[in-house]
Copies of this chain bind each other. A is one copy, B any other.
């Protein structure tokens, strides 16, 4: 389980540290993938990612469908691990996708970790909080 929001520098070699607590849950290696829908990079512990990939693959209805699905799932995923200082290297396609320059916001999101650029995160957080507030409103008014 990953919690919290942390800010880290991305050095000019594209390396990002993760919080020590996160590393300990990911020492077997991680899978980097594009955040589905959002402009961020998703970081999964390998086991968690395999579980997800399997449950997706079983939804394929035809061979052509499965090929396409594999392309989407595996094509956007990169396998990597930590260096001696607890950093991971961001592949260029992913860094571009998330628009991450020299600062990354590292966000714990239950079963995965997400990396955001400062700008995208600010926008996402604002809209997330607004939506959450609305949901809470409707919940409370229906009591």
Using a CB–CB cutoff of 8 Å, the interface residues on chain A facing chain B are: 1-5, 21, 31, 36-38, 55-56, 59, 64-65, 67-79, 91, 93, 107-110, 114, 124-125, 127-129, 131-133, 135-136, 138-139
Q: A125 to B70, alpha carbons, bound, how many Å?
A: 11
B139–A76 CB distance below 8 A = no
A36–B136 CB distance below 8 A = yes
- Residues of chain B within 8 A of A31, CB atoms compared: 3
Q: A22 to B3, alpha carbons, bound, how many Å?
A: 23
A75–B36 CB distance below 8 A = no
Majority-rule SS of A interface residues: helix
Given the known A-B contacts A3-B77, A71-B107, A132-B72, are A37 and B59 also in contact in the complex, defined by CB atoms under 8 Å?
no
Please, which residue of chain B has its CB at the minimum distance from the CB of A92? B7
A67–B38 CB distance below 8 A = yes
Q: A132 to B72, alpha carbons, bound, how many Å?
A: 7
- Residues of chain B within 8 A of A125, CB atoms compared: 71-72, 75
The minimal Cβ–Cβ distance linking A50 to chain B, given in whole angstroms, is: 9
